[in-house]
Structure 1
Amino acid sequence: MRAASSHNHVLVIAVDGVRYDSLQAANTPNIDQVAANGFLVPVRVDARNPTISGPVWATVASGVYCNRHAIFGNDVAPNKLEHYPDFISRLRSAHPDLETMAAAMWGPLLTDVDGGPIFASGGYHPDMGSDVDEDDMDIAQVMDEAVIGHAAGRLLGENPAVSFVYLEGPDAVAHALGVGDRYMQAIERSDQQVGVLRAAIAARRNREAELWTVIV
């Protein structure tokens, strides 16, 4: 969605499957810098939400728990998101002149896969073909890189007031191998990808005149 200029910007970076203790142990200079500029705290998943992607990311998007948005699994339909719209939809409704951006490799967030999209306006989802297993950790890494490339280009060259970028890597590795060395490497790779997005923001033409809030 293209539009009028805004000096206030919000970037939400969703890194799936990261344990707080593992994040503390990993080498994550970019996330550390975000925390140093603001704060870092553990977040407990509310007991009303199953700790799986559909309900939790719907809560992040809508601000309400599954007892309201009615998503209880990774098949996200039927739901009540029309009553509790995602934050991008709320901005687009209130300020249709502002630009927004969303990019994610997990289909239900932005496409009609498994009853989606959770974000009603959709966004960029890498097209790897219908026979690709998005849960495969190697495929997830490739798709995350595509997401980052798209998002960084948009952040550098366009003017999104609110952006949502989702990374799957650590979650895919944890499902496949548990929380060992490869998992820690996946967290650190995601941190590097956070760095790519931060660098894109820093390189914006009018960066000094803008106020950016980055949430990871």
Structure 2
Amino acid sequence: MMKKQATQLGYQATRSVIMLMILSFTVTLATAQNKVLIIGIDGCKPDCLLEARTPNLDQLWKNGAYSFNAQTDPISSSGICWTGMLTGVWHEKHKVISNEYKNPNLSAYPHFFHRIKEQNPTMKTYSVVNWSPIHNILQEGDADIANYLLRDKKVSRRAVDLLKDSDPDVLFVQLDEVDGAGHKHDYTTESQQYLKAIEKADLLVGKIVQAIKERPTFHTEDWLILVSTDHGGSNFGHGKDIPEHTTIFYIANGNNVKKGLLNQQVNVVDIAVTALKHLGIQVNPEWDLDGKSVGI
């Protein structure tokens, strides 16, 4: 009899501990500080991403929401597509129609950092890129830190340092060397040099994601990680309105993500809107955004 009572008491104690752990985890999620990491891998075709050995990216999409049939701007050049990703509208609105960024319509359709600062000026917005023209759409005050570094390794190292030593609310990182490999060796699964460039980018993605997990405040934070690209490519180039150039991938990973294949149409302009939603920024209908929140 005594043994049975001891067993029951032990069971009740264990159950209580488990319930407290669940409650603690639930409270942590409810009070966690929402943050966003966006990683853009320039010129990374979805079929080649799936062909390459990419354990870090695989971990993100297999445990997140994903599409390998998302769409970028019909003018599939970097300037146009990065602007679409970061403003949430197509080129007809943001008016960037070349890599020269002539007369962007920033007053009506600014960088999504601008929208964040309008509603919450205390949020920290960081951007670290390899391809400097991306920062042409940043207005004064949009980014607390805007770094241009000429090598992907330097970009990732800077991103890791920022995650270790400071407290960003949103961090945009652009890696460029996959696109360079595509221009030089072609955007195809048959190009080992192109696949190797994707694999190198995957290693850098892994280091950045690991830096998030090693943050001392990680347990009080709710990170949404978005990974995508600006365009695909073929025949050593891109810029045309053809599937090889306009089909991109989209990966969303985080506690609030609905895991699995996204059956809805996903577009490059959805990324800024998804980030805004996770950060708690209310999207004003007057902003006239083309994107929507996807996967969360």
TM-score range, shorter chain: 0.7 to 0.9
Q: Does 1:190 align with 2:201?
A: yes
Q: Aligned partners of 1:108, 1:81: CA distance in 2, in Å?
A: 15
Determine whether 1:35 maps to 2:93.
no
Q: Give the Å deviation of 1:40.
A: 1.8
* Equivalent-residue separation in structure 1 for 2:134 and 2:223 (angstroms): 24
Alignment of 1:1-216 (within 5 A): 7-42=33-68, 43-46=70-73, 49-110=74-135, 117-120=136-139, 121=142, 123-126=146-149, 143-179=151-187, 180-216=191-227
SS at match of 1:124: strand
SS across alignment from 1:160: coil
Task: Give ranges in structure 2 of 5+ residues lacking alignment.
Answer: 1-31, 228-296
32-41 or 197-206, which deviates more: 32-41
1:120-151 Cα distance to aligned partner (Å, 9 max, x none): 3350012xxxxxxxxxxxxx6xx111111111
Note the C-alpha offset of 1:45: 2.3
How far, CA to CA, are the matches of 2:62 and 2:165 in structure 1? 27
Structure 1, unaligned stretches of length 5 or more? 1-5, 111-116, 127-139
Would the aligned equivalents of 1:10 and 1:162 in 2 still touch at CA under 8 Å? yes
Matched residue of 1:215: which SS? strand
- The more displaced of 75-84 and 164-173 is 75-84
Give yes or no for contact 1:53–1:74 (8 Å, CA) kept in 2: yes
Using the aligned pairs only, state the percent identity: 31
Letter in 1 for 2:50: Q
2:147 alignment partner, SS class: coil
Over the residues paired in the alignment, what is the CA RMSD in angstroms?
1.4
Equivalent-residue separation in structure 1 for 2:97 and 2:219 (angstroms): 43
Aligned equivalents of 1:13, 1:70: Cα separation in 2: 24
In the comparison of the two structures, how many residue pairs are matched? 188
Report the Cα distance in structure 2 between the residues aligned to 1:208 and 1:58, rounded to whole angstroms: 33
Cα distance between partner residues in 2 of 1:24 and 1:59:
24
Single out whichever of 191-200 and 173-182 deviates more from structure 2: 173-182
- TM-score, structure 1 length as denominator? 0.83
Report Cα offsets for 1:20-49 as digits up to 9, x if no partner: 110111111111111122122121224xx3
How far apart are the structure 2 equivalents of 1:170 and 1:182? 9
TM-score w.r.t. the length of structure 2 is 0.61
Q: CA deviation at 1:107?
A: 1.3
Q: Find the residue that maps to 1:171 and give its secondary structure.
A: helix
Taking the aligned partners of 2:153 and 2:208, their CA distance within structure 1 comes to 12
Contact kept, 8 Å, 1:61 with 1:119, in 2: the verdict is: no
Report if aligned partners of 2:104, 2:137 keep a CA contact under 8 Å in 1: no
Larger Rg computed on CA atoms? 2
Structure 1 residue 181, shift from structure 2 partner: 0.7
Higher strand share: 2
